[in-house]
Amino acid sequence: MIGEGDYHEISTEFGPYSFKNNFCLTDLGYLNENGKITIYCEGLGDFSDGLARVKKNGKYGYIDTEGNIAIECEYEDACDFSEGLACVKKDGRYGYIDTNGNTIIDFKYYDPYDGHPRQPEVGKFVDGVASVNNGNYGYVDTKGNVVIDFKLPMARAFHDGRAFVNGAYFIDKSGNNVFHFDNYKIKSLNFYDGLLLVKKDEKYGYVNTNGEVVIDFQFDDAYSFSNGLASIKKDGKYGFIDTKGNIVINPEFDDAKYFSDELACVKKGDKYGYIDKNGNVVIDFNYDNAYDFSEGKAWVRINDRYQIINKKREVIADEIEVKNLIISYDKKR
């Protein structure tokens, strides 16, 4: 049974502006680690495999980290690269190209987002396979070989050898139905660290890839695992558990989400700071807002001033060109 409301998903983007290949995407273009926009363009995706998706004159292509066009803007639609391939649309059909622009999988499929929310992983290769649409969904490998037949009305990406399909159950990489959900609600659509977040009788717990409850329904709130730990809420405070269900960081925080880049952003009172996996405070609670680390850098805010900091607590960019854009994201937190 699918739970109501927002899923507790781990996004592939760690925060509103995350660094990938030393750049982060903003509404004005690509901003470098010094807080300066160095590539002005209509960017649409983060850098992946050294390339980023852009749009020019109504067509899609890709740029490199110098801002040069690496693959011409000639496609009607395009996804970010993943595992060396990107799903693109040409003459009304979708196929896959490599980072040199060579066609690897012919243009013969329908829109991969048909029936899906436009989520980052749809159409991407994950764990060596991608879901594709020829009227029904199936899965192909990176050579275009069909590995699961086209018999599914809806199919998501694989994680930890499992994929959520038809809005109802999980399959393995042979296409076998592994388990349904009869007695609890799914609160994440992907497995992380071999576990899936679920809910029963207003309490959260976790099941393994066979659908067996391995961490009992005991938490008032919880998030998916990341880097071997998951944020949980107990007695009004947040802490972290390991994949065995042991509390490894005591619930003492007013907010906590995920570990990213070996650190977690947590809140005490009305201030944010960062802890390591042992629960040690490594960056003090000095910030009015803060976001996850990626590639050794994180966005933080003190009053109305936005900064980029590193793990040594050093400010590496203080005058952020896109402050007003970041404020618009900040209000959503």
Q: What does the CA dihedral 147, 152, 158, 161 come to, rounded to 10 degrees?
A: -70
Q: What are phi and psi of 326, to 5 degrees?
A: -70, -35
H-helix or E-strand spanning residue 213:
strand 213-219
Q: Looking at this protein, which amino acid is placed at residue 140?
A: V
The model's confidence at residue 323, banded by pLDDT at 50, 70 and 90, is very low
**287, pLDDT greater than 70:** yes
Residue-level pLDDT at 95: 97
**Burial class (CB within 10 angstroms; exposed 0-12, middle 13-18, buried 19+) of 48:** buried
- pLDDT for the residue 186: 82
Give the pLDDT band of residue 278 (cuts 50, 70, 90): very high
313: left (phi over 0), alpha (psi -120 to 50) or beta: left
pLDDT at 35 over 80: no
Query: Alpha helix (H) ranges present in the chain?
Result: 323-330
pLDDT tens digits along 144-178? 999 999 999 989 899 999 999 988 899 999 999 99
Looking at residue 118, what is its pLDDT?
54
> pLDDT tier at 179 (50, 70, 90 boundaries)?
confident
Eight-state DSSP code of residue 3: P
pLDDT of residue 126: 92
| Banded model confidence at residue 330, pLDDT cuts 50, 70, 90 | very low
Q: What sign results for the dihedral spanned by CA atoms 89, 93, 99, 101? A: negative
Instruction: Copy the structure tokens of residue 14.
Output: 């760690």
pLDDT digits (tens, 9 = 90+) for 206-220: 999 999 999 999 999
